[in-house]
């Protein structure tokens, strides 16, 4: 554009400044993000100021202003609408404003506002272009902030108001409108002066000022509704910034019921305090929502919560019931005046106590209230547990009686089966006197049959007192002999290992019964391994059981030195739910044709009769382990 044309355009603009748009364009010229433009309708020439070059991020010497050049920097989707805005401005005297998007020389998208005004006497359009990108972002952020606070205010149960620094209320939620006794759209017509008593106003203004400074100020006060209703409130607030405005969000929590309950308690304090405080039962006063209005020392002791803190809690916070609804809800929906239930009191340390609850309702100052009496059921439950234990012991005795009857009916059949084995083996031993290898094997067969006969006699005596014949034996030697027989009775796929710690293992034990214990436990381990390759390991060590050992209380044994025989296998292990039952008579996880469930129960009885004890557990990533403890004789 030549110099004369620039001078002419500038002159036209200066003339326009003196029109009715003077103030607006002066303000635009002071802003860095506004540029001026001028379109001559007669010649079609378009001129714009350097600020528009800045907005479009183009160099002035790299562009010749024209209408087509200008449209070229408008977003393709908005170009038609911008052209229509120019056309409309050319035929209408009023100012045209149009929001659009521009594409800068760098390829960036930005938001713009285009303002156009027809100057009919000069046959031209003058206007401005403003970069509104930051304003658009700020507006979106502001709308998001307002939406967030309005959503919080709408869903809150407390009264919430938004207040300016000068104490003018801008907005309030439905609860605030209810407390102030005005329609929600009229909350903004009120100020701090309208909602507080005159004698409280100065103190409340000081608190609001503290809230504005960010201090966590919380105060109790009263709110006056427009119809005169006074509501006791706990008032707190915090500063927020919306746009460029500093404001205060004030939250008012209704404590009217708590105040009224306190007044009622004071009214009857001298009459009932002694009775309530000295009661052996916990006593609570509740409203219809289960909020605790009063509590005596006993319930505080039961929960471990101070009384002042307990008054801020709900009944459901400290009591549990095996119900989907609370007992307060049950009684409120029925015609009954009282209700008895059993549940639990929750202690602050995590303990729970079985508790009985008597709940009764009554009217106080026209409002429904509930009195809850809570009493400890721990001793009752303990008695119930003792009864169940005795019942279990009775059942155990009945099972043992059945075992004795079963054993008696089978004993003669087993003896008949063993008799020919004993007779034939005796005869063969005499005939094989010159063959030491054969004779040794025959002797082992004969000894095994004799032990089997003795075991049958033990089974017959299972439900009668044991008549064992303990003698001083070396457990290591006896275990070695038993393992030789066990190795010959388990599949060849199972390897039996033994390991003994150093020491003397002298015990007072019946040899036959010890043999029976090892054979039963070893056979059980072999059954757990099954047909797979596996290992059964027998380990023996000496342990000192002192007064601080948990075994003393658990198994009722004295302090002493014990031989510990650990039998571990690589089998499938014991299901956790069965560990406490494996020593019960007739308990078995096998089919009826594979086992009778007598083996480990016999083991337990023999070990107990010898002053020892037995325990079982699983080995991680392996099978099971059974530990047998037998008291050792003194080495002196």
Q: What is the mean pLDDT of residues 524-551?
A: 91
Q: What is the mean pLDDT of residues 444-464?
A: 71
Query: pLDDT: is 459 or 63 the higher one?
Result: 63
Are 127 and 114 in contact, with CB atoms under 8 Å apart?
A: yes
CA distance 190 to 201: 14
* Confidence label for 396 from pLDDT (cuts 50, 70 and 90): low
* pLDDT(79) > 80: yes
pTM, to two decimals? 0.35
* pLDDT(202) > 70: yes
Residues contacting 528, CB < 8 A, separation 6+: 569, 571, 572, 573, 623, 624
- Class of residue 271 by CB neighbours under 10 A (exposed 0-12, middle 13-18, buried 19+): exposed
Predicted pLDDT at 439:
81
Q: What is the SS3 assignment for 382?
A: helix
Looking at the chain, the whole-number percentage of residues with pLDDT higher than 70 is 82
Query: pLDDT: is 242 or 557 the higher one?
Result: 557
Query: pLDDT: is 629 or 453 the higher one?
Result: 629
Predicted pLDDT at 352:
87
* pLDDT(458) > 50: yes
Q: What is the mean pLDDT of residues 181-198?
A: 90
* pLDDT(415) > 50: yes
Give me the residues paired with residue 295 across strands.
Answer: 284
Predicted pLDDT at 243:
61
Predicted pLDDT at 18:
45
* pLDDT(592) > 50: no
* pLDDT(14) > 60: no
Cα 495 versus chain centre, distance:
48
* pLDDT(608) > 80: yes
CA distance 575 to 573: 7
Q: What is the mean pLDDT of residues 132-152?
A: 65
Helix axes 22-30, 3-17, angle to 10 degrees: 120
Give me the residues paired with residue 416 across strands.
Answer: none
* Confidence label for 17 from pLDDT (cuts 50, 70 and 90): very low
* Ranges of H-type helices in 196-235: 198-212
Looking at the chain, the whole-number percentage of residues with pLDDT higher than 90 is 19
* pLDDT(591) > 80: no
Alpha carbon separation from 390 to 403, 499, 635 (Å, rounded): 20, 41, 41
Predicted pLDDT at 403:
64
Number of neighbours of residue 18 by Cβ within 10 angstroms:
8
Predicted pLDDT at 541:
94
Are 602 and 533 in contact, with CB atoms under 8 Å apart?
A: no
H or E element at residue 136: helix 133-155
* pLDDT(156) > 90: no
Predicted pLDDT at 12:
57
- Class of residue 183 by CB neighbours under 10 A (exposed 0-12, middle 13-18, buried 19+): exposed
Alpha carbon separation from 10 to 17, 28, 148 (Å, rounded): 11, 16, 49
Residue carrying the six token digits 């009919």: 120
Output helix, strand, coil percentages for the chain, rounded to the nearest 5: 45, 30, 25
Residues contacting 296, CB < 8 A, separation 6+: 276, 277, 279, 282, 283, 284
Q: Which two tokens stand for residue 373?
A: 């009496």
* Confidence label for 397 from pLDDT (cuts 50, 70 and 90): low
* pLDDT(162) > 60: yes
Query: Chain-wide mean pLDDT for the chain?
Result: 81
The lowest-confidence range among 51-65, 175-189, 454-468, 482-496 is 454-468
Q: What is the mean pLDDT of residues 74-100?
A: 91
Predicted pLDDT at 461:
57
The string of pLDDT tens digits covering residues 360-385 is 888 888 888 888 998 888 887 777 77
* pLDDT(58) > 70: yes
Predicted pLDDT at 29:
46
Q: What is the mean pLDDT of residues 512-519?
A: 90
The lowest-confidence range among 19-33, 391-405, 503-517 is 19-33
Number of neighbours of residue 559 by Cβ within 10 angstroms:
13
Q: What is the mean pLDDT of residues 570-589?
A: 78
* pLDDT(5) > 60: no
CA distance 435 to 432: 5
Alpha carbon separation from 616 to 3, 117, 515, 567, 576 (Å, rounded): 107, 97, 19, 10, 11
């Amino acid at each position: 554009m030549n110099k004369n044309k620039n001078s002419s355009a500038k002159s036209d603009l200066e003339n326009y400044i003196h029109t009715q748009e003077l103030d607006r364009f002066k303000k635009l010229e002071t802003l860095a993000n506004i540029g001026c433009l001028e379109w001559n309708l007669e010649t079609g020439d378009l001129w714009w100021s350097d600020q528009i070059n800045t907005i479009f991020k183009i160099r002035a010497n790299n562009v010749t202003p024209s209408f087509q050049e200008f449209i070229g920097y408008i977003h393709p989707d908005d170009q038609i609408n911008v052209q229509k805005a120019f056309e409309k401005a050319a035929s209408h005297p009023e100012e045209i404003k149009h929001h659009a998007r521009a594409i800068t020389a760098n390829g960036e998208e930005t938001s713009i506002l285009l303002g156009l005004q027809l100057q009919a006497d000069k046959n031209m359009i003058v206007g401005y272009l403003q970069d509104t990108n930051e304003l658009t972002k700020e507006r979106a952020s502001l709308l998001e902030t307002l939406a967030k606070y309005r959503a919080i205010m709408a869903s809150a149960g407390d009264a919430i108001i938004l207040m300016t620094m000068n104490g003018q209320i801008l907005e309030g939620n439905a609860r605030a409108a209810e407390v102030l006794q005005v329609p929600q759209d009229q909350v903004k017509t009120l100020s701090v002066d309208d909602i507080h008593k005159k004698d409280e106003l100065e103190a409340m203004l000081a608190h609001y000022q503290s809230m504005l400074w960010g201090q966590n100020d919380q105060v109790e006060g009263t709110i006056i509704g427009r119809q005169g209703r006074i509501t006791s409130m706990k008032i707190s607030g915090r500063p927020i910034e919306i746009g460029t405005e500093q404001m205060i969000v004030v939250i008012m929590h209704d404590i009217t019921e708590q105040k009224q309950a306190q007044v009622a308690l004071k009214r009857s304090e001298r009459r009932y305090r002694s009775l309530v405080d000295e009661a052996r039962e916990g006593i609570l006063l509740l409203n219809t929502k289960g909020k605790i209005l009063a509590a005596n020392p006993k319930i505080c002791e039961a929960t471990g919560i101070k009384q002042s803190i307990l008054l801020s809690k709900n009944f459901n916070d400290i009591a549990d019931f095996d119900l989907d609804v609370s007992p307060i809800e049950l009684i409120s929906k029925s015609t009954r005046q009282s209700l008895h239930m059993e549940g639990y009191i929750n202690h602050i340390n995590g303990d729970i106590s079985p508790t009985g609850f008597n709940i009764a309702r009554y009217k106080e100052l026209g409002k429904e209230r509930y009195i809850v009496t809570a009493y400890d059921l721990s001793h009752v439950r303990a008695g119930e547990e003792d009864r169940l234990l005795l019942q279990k012991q009775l059942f155990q005795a009945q099972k043992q009686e059945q075992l004795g009857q079963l054993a008696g009916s089978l004993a003669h059949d087993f003896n008949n089966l063993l008799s020919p084995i004993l007779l034939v083996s005796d005869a063969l031993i005499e005939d094989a006197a010159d063959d030491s290898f054969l004779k040794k094997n025959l002797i082992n067969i004969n000894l095994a049959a004799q032990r089997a006969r003795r075991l049958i006699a033990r089974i017959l005596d299972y439900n009668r007192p044991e008549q064992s014949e303990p003698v001083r034996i070396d457990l290591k030697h006896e275990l070695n002999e038993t393992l030789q027989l066990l190795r010959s009775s388990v599949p060849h796929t199972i390897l039996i290992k033994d390991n003994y710690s150093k020491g003397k293992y002298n015990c007072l034990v019946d040899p036959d019964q010890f043999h029976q214990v090892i054979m039963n436990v070893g056979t059980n381990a072999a059954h757990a391994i099954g047909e797979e390759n596996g290992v059964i390991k027998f380990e023996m060590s000496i342990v000192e059981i002192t007064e601080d050992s948990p075994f003393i209380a658990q198994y009722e044994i004295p302090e002493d030195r014990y031989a510990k025989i650990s039998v571990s296998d690589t089998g499938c292990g014991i299901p956790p739910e069965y560990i406490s039952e494996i020593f019960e008579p007739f308990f078995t996880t096998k089919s009826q044709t594979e086992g009778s469930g007598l083996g480990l129960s016999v083991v337990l009885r023999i070990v107990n009769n010898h002053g020892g004890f037995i325990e079982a557990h699983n080995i991680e990533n392996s099978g099971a382990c059974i530990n047998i403890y037998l008291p050792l004789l003194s080495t002196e």
